[in-house]
Structure 1
Amino acid sequence: MTPRRAAITGIGVIAPGGIGSKNFWQLLTDGRTATRRISFFDPSPFRSQVAAEVDFDAELCGLGPQETRRMDRAAQFAVVSAREAIADSGLDLGALNPHRLGVTIGSAVGATMSLDQEYRTVSDGGRLDLVDHRYAVPHLYDYFVPSSFAAEVAWAAGAEGPATVVSTGCTSGLDAVGHAADLIREGMTDVMIAGAADAPISPITVACFDAIKATTPRNDDPEHASRPFDASRNGFVLGEGSAVFVLEELTAARSRGAHVYAEVAGYATRSNAYHMTGLRPDGREMAEAIRMALREAQLNPEDIDYINAHGSGTKQNDRHETSAFKSSLGAHAYATPVSSIKSMVGHSLGAIGSIEIAACALAMEHSIVPPTANLRQSDPECDLDYVPVTARDWQTNAVLSVGSGFGGFQSAIVLARPDRRIR
């Protein structure tokens, strides 16, 4: 029996600096940054006052007033991205068995913006100890349960198969796509709508990251505030956004003449069982996830042509994953381009893993590696090829993308051309 394989045939992206996958890719290849001073609220009381915001108009993106009223901003991102991915795939969902069509959406913090707004409303701006529920919107329950994200996408797609939300911190976007690929390979579904969305730019989120000094205080220069792997980096820039994919069983996709961006060839996740926010400097859990993803993809370290790093811009993370690349890929790590798109679109928590998968698929499509913007001064402890400032023409047949999340989550995913040599 021929093994089932999962292929990406549709991509939809909402990211800072660009609505839609084409605008997103143009931003990356231009090396432009979409980071700026926070405009959603007055950030002056906070240590970090910069973020990568999406210029999003729900009506212009095709959402009606009832949908906009019902859904949190992140759920709106997920639905709009899913619609773009479905259109991009050319798939006629109405012709499918709905029970063989599933949804997996990742999110780290769920309906943060709506919950923040509703608390302010029912507490009269925080003045009431006993809140008045009469002022809450009727859809407040949906904001409390992130499963509503998967439900909204399933309704939009007419999917009656598995519908799941994956919430594993900042690896949620990787894990959601990896889980979806597993469902296809196992024969549970034929098509999956998979990806992630988060819209966390709210006072509560900013305050939380301020408390642990994880975000940058470089408020005087928002455009250059996100500096992964740079010696002068001092924290990440919060972001928001979404990326959603259509994944199909490869043989069926080829039979209908679908355009295949890449195969989800390997995926693995590990936990460091060590610390809520701390990382071991040797990166051994991430290295193990990379090795297992390569094994599932039936690829050697030397087959990887590009690494999309987690690259958050904190010294702890950048050194941790640099060690993981060296441990898992050996000498080949020094010959492999590595970059972090968080330098341009910020860190959108659970969504960023899927946004980075979109960047990897498009890098394979166009044979261009996106740069690490703002990388001007190398950190001696980060001594790999981080593609500074400018995008690079580069043939990519197999790419590795990794994620690291609070709670100790470490995930790796391998995308590859379906006709690659399988050992």
Structure 2
Amino acid sequence: MSRRAVITGVGVLAPGGNGTKEYWDLLAAGRSATRAITHFDASPYRSRMAGECDFDPGTAGLGPQQIRRMDRATQLAVVAAGEAMADSGVEFDRLDPTRVGVGLGCAVGSTTSLEREYIVGSDRGRHWEVDQAYTLPHLYDYFTPSTMAAELAWLAGAEGPVSMVSTGCTSGIDSVGHAAELIAEGSADVVLTGGTEAPLSPITTVCFDVIRASSTRNDDPAQACRPFDLTRDGLVLAEGAAVLVLEDLEHARRRGARLYAEVAGYASRCNAYHMTGLHPEGREMAMAIDATLAQARLAPEDVDYVNAHGSGTKQNDRHETAAFKRALGRHAYDTPVSGFKSMVGHSLGAIGSLEIAGCLLAFEKDLIPPTANLHEPDPECDLDYVPLVAREQRVDAALTVGSGFGGFQSVLALRRPGGKA
């Protein structure tokens, strides 16, 4: 029988929540942290709001050289990883470094630094050839997303498997799923994993503007992301990071570790259909749910909660509603579903890990965070989306799902510690 992977440490930097406790408090309160963009002048753009982190790298403990070397996404990951490592109680310097791994997810890499350096090196686009003499010496690091995972490896002293996962908006789920597989197959005993993203820049904003994916409710940013609501008009971009410490269950038990949850199953599928479009029937997501449940040895009736992708676009909401019905059958109507993007926005490659971290609240507190801003339910989305207010309920098994550009559909099953193998 393969080994079991458990979560023993959590670190979070999110809009409205620096640190795991603040983040959980925000989710439990159903409070939205999206606001007008302050990182740059967004006045020329269609959508002018985002989920921004109140994050200062110096205050967070990074030195001047680290700040200059690292893109903001890397900074977020390193600080979140520090919290997760401390929270886990793992003495990383006493581990066999070849048994420690890293798996980090990110969708758009060092976008903010690349754009900044291009503007400088090209003299605001006046020159076709970028003059490297005007750019930072760390420009190569920004071109190579794997340097983010390398930073975490240096932090943890990891000499085992180290990888960067970039599968768009499912990256934060896929990285954790792959980390659990490393533990299950015996390639590592401890893996630092999660997702990070700092995409808030003009180039990212205009890309989402062009495809009309983002909300234009600029006069009310906190209410802009409205998953499953009839009046929704798109997603709200965001930044953030969540890093988890995954351990082999027996390794964690031997040192008396606190167990947040077990990663009981993981699967991913692709619709091979369209870069941004989704089949309304939700077949591929349903297939991923089926495969995840089979791996976790759970029946549909065992699922107590589903954390939705809930991006706030009509096609996504209807797609995953159909997928839940297809995979869970009649039990879908009895299963609470909620979407955290209504509160913290859509941080692309980071959001899957932020949602995993948030799901742990359901296990810790017997509380299901709500879907904020859900005032007028879409009749075609007729499941229990836990509108506006958190719900007291014991959760023993939960699914968290994600959809990504390119057709990716990923699902992770979390189980309360001590559950059946």
TM-score, normalising length from structure 1?
0.99
Aligned match of 1:311: 310
- Structure 1 position 158, deviation (Å): 0.6
Q: Following the alignment from structure 2 to structure 1, what is the Cα–Cα distance between the partners of residues 130 and 404?
A: 33
Task: Report the counterpart of residue 380 of structure 2 in structure 1.
Answer: 381
Count of residues in Structure 1 that have an aligned counterpart in Structure 2: 421
Question: In structure 1, what residue type is equivalent to 2:117?
Answer: E
**Structure 1 segments (4+ residues) deviating >3 Å:** none
Aligned to 2:101: 102
Letter matched to residue 45 of structure 2: F
Deviations 1:144-179 (A, max 9, x none): 000011000000111111110000000000000000
Q: Distance in 2 between matches of 1:421 and 1:244?
A: 26
Task: Provide the C-alpha distance between the structure 1 equivalents of 2:3 and 2:297, rounded to a whole number of angstroms.
Answer: 14
- Counterpart CA distance in 1 for 2:203 and 2:394 is 43
* Residues in 1 aligned to 2:104 and 2:47: alpha-carbon distance in whole angstroms: 29
Identity percentage of aligned residues: 64
For 1:330, give the aligned amino acid: G
Q: 2:260–2:417: 8 Å Cα contact kept in structure 1?
A: no
The question of 1:126 aligning with 2:131 is answered no
- Residue 249 of structure 1 corresponds to which residue in structure 2? 248
- Look up the match of 1:328: 327
Q: Show the 5 A alignment for 1:221-232.
A: 221-232=220-231
Instruction: Quote the Cα distance in structure 2 between the aligned partners of 1:420 and 1:190.
Output: 21
Cross-structure match for 2:10: 11
The answer to whether the Cα contact below 8 Å between 1:35 and 1:345 also exists between their aligned partners in 2 is: yes
Partner of 1:207 in structure 2? 206
Residue 415 of structure 1 aligns to a residue whose secondary structure is strand
SS at match of 2:278: coil
**2:2–2:185 CA contact under 8 A, matched in 1:** no
Superposition deviation, residue 421 in structure 1: 3.2
- State the Cα distance separating 1:408 from its structure 2 match: 0.6
Aligned partners of 2:96, 2:129: CA distance in 1, in Å? 49
The corresponding residue for 1:165 is 164
Cα distance in 2 for partners of 1:129, 1:270 equals 40
Does residue 276 in structure 1 map to residue 271 in structure 2? no
1:25-40 correspondence runs (5 A): 25-40=24-39
Could you tell me how far 1:254 is from its partner in structure 2? 1.0
Q: Who is 2:175 aligned against?
A: 176
Unmatched segments (≥5 aa) in structure 2: none
Amino acid at match of 2:284: E
3-state SS in 1 of match to 2:128: coil
Counterpart position of 1:348: 347
The answer for the alignment partner of 1:419 in structure 2 is: 418
* Alignment match, 1:81: 80
Q: What per-residue deviation string (whole Å, max 9, x for no partner) do you get for residues 316-366 of structure 1?
A: 000000000000000111101100000000000000000000011122111
* Structure 1: runs of 5 or more not aligned: none
Distance (whole Å) between structure 2 residues aligned to residue 317 and residue 31 of structure 1 = 21
What is the root-mean-square deviation in Å for CA atoms of aligned residues?
0.8
Give the match for residue 219 of structure 2. Answer: 220
CA offset at residue 131 of structure 1? 2.3
Given that 1:261 and 1:362 are in contact with CA atoms closer than 8 Å, whether structure 2 keeps it comes out as: no
Q: For 1:404-415, what aligned pairs fall within 5 Å after superposition? A: 404-415=403-414
What does residue 60 of structure 2 align with? 61
Distance 1:417 1:24 in 2: 20
**Counterpart contact for 1:177–1:195, Cα < 8 Å:** yes
Contact 1:104 1:193 in 2 (8 A): yes
TM-score computed with the length of structure 2 as normaliser:
0.99
**Deviation readout 1:178-237 (Å, 9 max, x if unpaired):** 000000000000000000101001000001000000000111111100100000000000
State the 1:255 CA deviation: 1.3
Is contact 1:283-1:323 (8 Å) kept? yes
AA of the residue aligned to 1:237: V
State whether structure 2 residue 280 is matched by structure 1 residue 299. no
* Corresponding residue number in structure 2 for 1:360: 359
Q: Is the 8 A contact 1:276 1:406 kept in 2?
A: yes
Distance 2:67 2:104 in 1: 19
Amino acid at match of 2:205: V
Query: Could you tell me how far apart the structure 1 residues matched to 2:63 and 2:362 are?
Result: 34
